[in-house]
Structure 1
Amino acid sequence: MCGKPIWVAEGRRARIRLGPADLLGGRTLLPVVAGGQPLLLVRDAGRIVAAERACPHEGADLSHGQCVGGRLRCPRHLASFDLEDGSVSLGWSFRALRLYPVEIASDGLWIMLT
């Protein structure tokens, strides 16, 4: 994991190489740092998504959570986040989880940070 910006446009968006395409190995969750931001790579049904690592509710480390059925569960309060749009499960009233698309390319995993 190099976490170093490879390409920057307009000083606002950075395309960052996270590591080789098989970086997660057999894991479902993998904490990484990209562009100085602590993130969590999540494998779900053949795709990989990056999410902010701290829960927006109380800051719990989501790398200790679980990914089940397209949702990432917080280990502290058991709310879950939809991995399509970051929305929190019913009954909770705080902001959505920030998600970042991950590109799987022949030269590795890439993320676009804004």
Structure 2
Amino acid sequence: MPEGYEDVCAEQAVVEGGLLGVKVGGEPVVLSRVGGQIYAIGGICTHKPASLEEGTIEGGSVRCPRHGGCFDIRTGEAVRPPATRAVPTYEVKVEGGRVLVGRRAG
């Protein structure tokens, strides 16, 4: 396994258009597969604390279940109010059928 990465789940556990919550370094992170690519973002909404794992995927955005703010799954940027601050993004690698999540990318 590459240094600085954590093995978080099997690749097949991350389904297209779904959300999967994991922990990376003790922090909540949400994984999603969009267009065949797996992405990882911080798992807590920056508007009001709520688990993004319980949200939905709309296009390439994660919609918070609490107030409807949306975050771009690729960049973490807030793309719909009331969210205005980005969530962190994480580096993702897939090796041997396992999803590895690394340090914060942004």
| Pairwise TM-score range, normalised by the shorter structure | 0.7 to 0.9
Aligned partner of 1:15 in structure 2 is 5
Kindly provide the CA deviation profile for residues 58-78 of structure 1, in whole angstroms up to 9, marking residues without a partner as x. 011111111111011111111
| Secondary structure of the corresponding residue to residue 89 of structure 1 | strand
Aligned partner of 2:96 in structure 1 is 106
Instruction: Map 1:40-79 onto structure 2 (within 5 A).
Output: 40-79=30-69
Alpha-carbon spacing, 1:7–1:103, altered in 2? closer, same or farther (3 Å):
closer
Give the superposition deviation at 1:91.
Answer: 4.4
Mind listing any 5+ residue stretches in structure 1 that lack a counterpart?
Answer: 1-5, 9-13
- Give the aligned length: 104
Q: Percent identity?
A: 29
Q: Which has the larger radius of gyration?
A: 1
Kindly provide the CA deviation profile for residues 12-59 of structure 1, in whole angstroms up to 9, marking residues without a partner as x. xx2111122223257711111122111111121211111111101101
> What RMSD in Å do the two structures reach over aligned CA positions?
2.1
- Indicate whether 1:28 and 2:18 are aligned: yes
TM-score w.r.t. length of structure 1:
0.77
Mind listing any 5+ residue stretches in structure 2 that lack a counterpart?
Answer: none
Which one-letter code corresponds to 2:99 in the other structure?
L
* Contact 2:5-2:103 at 8 Å conserved across structures: yes
Alpha-carbon spacing, 1:35–1:90, altered in 2? closer, same or farther (3 Å):
closer
